[in-house]
Amino acid sequence: MMTVNITNALINYLCGENNFLKHKNDHMKVTVVGAGAVGATCADNIARKELCNELVLLDIKEGVAEGKAQDMMQTATLLGFDTKIVGSTNDYTKTAGSDVVVITSGLPRKPGMTREELIGVNAGIVKGVCENILKHSPNAIIIVISNPMDTMTYLALKSTGLPKNRIIGMGGTLDSSRFKYQLSQHLGCSPADLNAVVVGGHGDTTMIPLISKATWNSAPVTDFLTAEQQEKIVKDTMVGGATLTALIGTSAWYAPGAAGAALVESIIRDEKKLFTCCVALEGEYGQKDICLGVPVTIGKNGWEKIIDFKLNDAEKAAFEKSAAAVRSMNDVLATL
């Protein structure tokens, strides 16, 4: 009898008023704009983790979003998720009431192409997406993945007039994950045991892997790596995207998609996790009127707090150089 009572009490607790089993994000809605490789991967991760009860995948190309949505829904019984996935060809009414919107739409990089070269085409796409999304979801938090990500995030902020905490650029989250991968290869350890972040712009020459602050659990990674290894890790991290583009003929998608989904998860579940994200700076890190990658906490309100990592002189100089490069790209927006 005691065992039965304990079991019933446990069930009642797990299904209680504020418990996650009863309120498994049952009123949350997420939209992913762009059903290409990155968008579809992001949507797949969101569905598998049941971060929302409804997920909309939208694309401009006829039938693509609908087809991928059906394909994902046909995995639901195999993977055990209940999220409803809806595909839409450019019908933004289906996105109405979205809590979080991930923008992946735009041209991907091709071999030899920089993220910066994409600005002319993708600026028009991102601006149009933001306008259409906010017509139907005025309270949405927007995550920008489209490249050049720093400039597209700045464009989204300026063109929408939304509070700064509701516009988040994904880039540093991905770059930091790539940094941990490179470190793990040299240290022979699990990437999960590493704390390492990349700040600055999301570009091959603008990102700044903070190797001086990276740790293997609590031990500085510099205690275990030669100067030559450290230099190679930083270099390989910075060209991580270009390396994959050269190998597979287009931009990567598994890690970018997972990075976008990780941010969605921290928002939906109010996790307050620390990520490097491209956000609006108003004096932080010595910069103003720019969106750039810095460590922030991510929760139900979007990005909630910027963390000052106390950069050393060399890192400060690199950050200023990165900001100058991103500003030069932002200046192009005025000519479009």
The yes-or-no answer on residue 23 being catalytic is no
Q: What is the 3-state secondary structure (H, E, C) of the chain?
A: CHHHHHHHHHHHHHCCCCCCCCCCCCCCEEEEECCCHHHHHHHHHHHHCCCCCEEEEEECCCCHHHHHHHHHHCCHHHHCCCCEEEEEECCHHHHCCCCEEEECCCCCCCCCCCHHHHHHHHHHHHHHHHHHHHHHCCCCEEEECCCCHHHHHHHHHHHHCCCHHHEEECHHHHHHHHHHHHHHHHHCCCHHHEECCEEECCCCCCEEECHHHCEECCEEHHHCCCHHHHHHHHHHHHCHHHHHHHHHCCCCCHHHHHHHHHHHHHHHCCCCEEEEEEEEEECHHHCEEEEEEEEEEEECCEEEEECCCCCCHHHHHHHHHHHHHHHHHHHHHHHC
Active-site residue, from 23, 27, 136, 202: 202
Residues recognised as catalytic:
202
